Amino acid sequence: MTTATLSLSATRAAAPVKPRRLGVRAAKLTVGLVVLAAVLHLDIGWSDLAELPADLRHYLDLMFAHPDWSRLPAAFYQTWVSVSMAWVGAVLGVVASTILGIPAAQGVAPLWVRLPLRGLFAVLRAVPEVIIAIILLTVTGLTPFTGALALAVGGIGTHGKWTYETIEAVPAGTAEAVRAAGGNVLEVARWGLWPAAAPELMSLALYRFEINVRTSAILGLIGVGGVGDMLTGYTQYRQWDSVGVLIIVVIAVTMTIDAISGAIRRRIMRGARARDLDRTV
């Protein structure tokens, strides 16, 4: 047997085994069955779908062909109420989730502290803000403060997870140096982790505010105030020209806030990258 034949035989023997795709196919089949069951359960009127474009055009004409601009001052005021709810909820939620999220990170606090905190975050993420607001309004009533508290409590679940994931992504060198110098958990978090994680956490805090601005409009639908409350009233009485003004104001204000917040977040992250480059030079 020649050397070439031995080499060819070794290559064939070392060829990888073709992976079995049974699991992937089973997962695709399961997803397909779930989607099919959901569609059948919804009992969709397929004949109504053909009329949807015409109905959509009809209502768009009612809302935007001749909007009632006399509602503009009230629309701006209620939108300001919604933005205020979003801001207060973001501040309260970010502060609480930062305090709770840092000890939930790997290597900061012991396991018996991390697991309950992560479990709390998971539970809060599973409950929509509307449900939280309904629970809170039995105590605080139908006020904008109820909406702000619901946004704060609901935001703790998501922002707490973002916080400990950001802390875990920080290089361990600085934290280990503080710990080696005899620093406790608070000193490690303050001097070893916070300086490196602060730009990312501040960027995420602004993003949390952007999310709250959208969610606050939904909370208004249950009567806690804001533009959602006003929108519900006009929709129930089929005042479509007033609804059109509200939608225009909400879109304009939301896009403006997104643009400003996005610019600030980009500035924060670019500054953080510049500081990192200065340290490496």
Give tens-digit pLDDT for 98-110. Answer: 889 888 888 777 8
pLDDT value of position 37: 81
In this prediction, residue 50 has a pLDDT band, given cuts at 50, 70 and 90, of confident
pLDDT value of position 272: 54
pLDDT value of position 62: 81
d(CA 83, CA 151): 12
List the helix and strand counts (H, then E) for the chain: 12, 0
pLDDT (tens digit per residue) in 200-249 = 888 888 888 888 888 888 887 777 778 888 888 888 888 888 888 888 88
Question: Residue 272 region, left (φ>0) first, then alpha (ψ -120 to 50), else beta?
Answer: alpha
- CA geometry: angle at 118 spanning 154 and 196, to 5°? 90
d(CA 16, CA 115): 41
pLDDT value of position 92: 92
Residue 170 has pLDDT above 70, yes or no: yes
Domains in the chain (CATH in brackets) are 59-280 (1.10.3720.10)
pLDDT value of position 95: 92
Q: What's the pTM value of the predicted model, to 2 decimals?
A: 0.75
- Residue range 173-196: average pLDDT? 69
Give the rounded distance of the alpha carbon of 181 from its chain centre. Answer: 38
pLDDT value of position 276: 53
Contact (CB, 8 A) for 222 and 128:
no
Q: Which of 233, 231, 222, 212 is nearest to 134 (CA)?
A: 222
Q: Tell me which of 1 and 101 has the higher pLDDT.
A: 101
Q: What average pLDDT is seen over the chain?
A: 80
pLDDT (tens digit per residue) in 138-161 = 888 878 888 889 999 989 989 999
- Residue range 192-198: average pLDDT? 76
d(CA 170, CA 163): 11
What is the share, in percent, of the chain residues with pLDDT greater than 90? 10
pLDDT (tens digit per residue) in 4-20 = 555 555 555 555 556 66
In this prediction, residue 179 has a pLDDT band, given cuts at 50, 70 and 90, of low
Q: Can you tell me which residue has the tokens 């939930």?
A: 104
In this prediction, residue 91 has a pLDDT band, given cuts at 50, 70 and 90, of very high
- Residue range 191-205: average pLDDT? 80
pLDDT value of position 253: 87
pLDDT value of position 119: 92
